Amino acid sequence: MSHAPEERGPWPWSLAAVAFVGGTCGSLVRALVQRSFDRGGLPAWGAHAAVNVAGSFAIGMLFAALVARDARGEPVGIPSERRIREHLLGAGVLGGLTTVSGLAQDLCVLVGGGQASAAAASIALNGFAGLVACAAGYRAGTLVCRKSGAATLR
């Protein structure tokens, strides 16, 4: 019995490599944002909230591109069989940009320092504003995909 050769995507090491490169870039952007907040005398938790909310918007846009389909139902966004761009942008750049561990550290420092109102603001910005930003990014990505002739999941 003969079997047709399976289509194979990229090697796992190549996916890890592009995620590493993207993560390095995203982490560098996050460090630059943190540095600008420090130089401006703004709180560190604000820098983490800024990158998390901006990253949430971008993740929403990326997800819209990942699920985009044409009129026949064929994927037109990022090809799932290759996944290079998905790993570079999603796991890599946006994973390096956003920071849950930074949020956790911020909350420990704020609560431990008796700054409950700042901790509540951090939770609200990272949580609620992050979800709203992700939904807005998905909506924006959907509009971009439609303008390019693709439909997306609703």
Using the predicted structure, report yes or no on whether residue 5 has a pLDDT greater than 80. Answer: no
Q: How far apart are CA 119 and CA 110, in angstroms?
A: 6
Question: What are the pLDDT digits (tens) for 79-97?
Answer: 655 678 888 899 999 999 9
What would the two tokens of residue 139 be? 């909506």
Using the predicted structure, report yes or no on whether residue 21 has a pLDDT greater than 60. Answer: yes
Q: Delimit the domains of the chain by residue range.
A: 12-147
With a CB cutoff of 8 Å and minimum separation 6, the contacts of 153 are 67, 69
Q: How far apart are CA 75 and CA 92, in angstroms?
A: 22
**Which pLDDT band, with edges at 50, 70 and 90, does 11 fall under?**
confident
Tally: H helices and E strands in the chain: 7, 0
**Which pLDDT band, with edges at 50, 70 and 90, does 43 fall under?**
very high
Closest of 151, 135, 152 to residue 59, by C-alpha: 135
Using the predicted structure, report yes or no on whether residue 72 has a pLDDT greater than 80. Answer: no
Per-residue pLDDT at 85 = 80
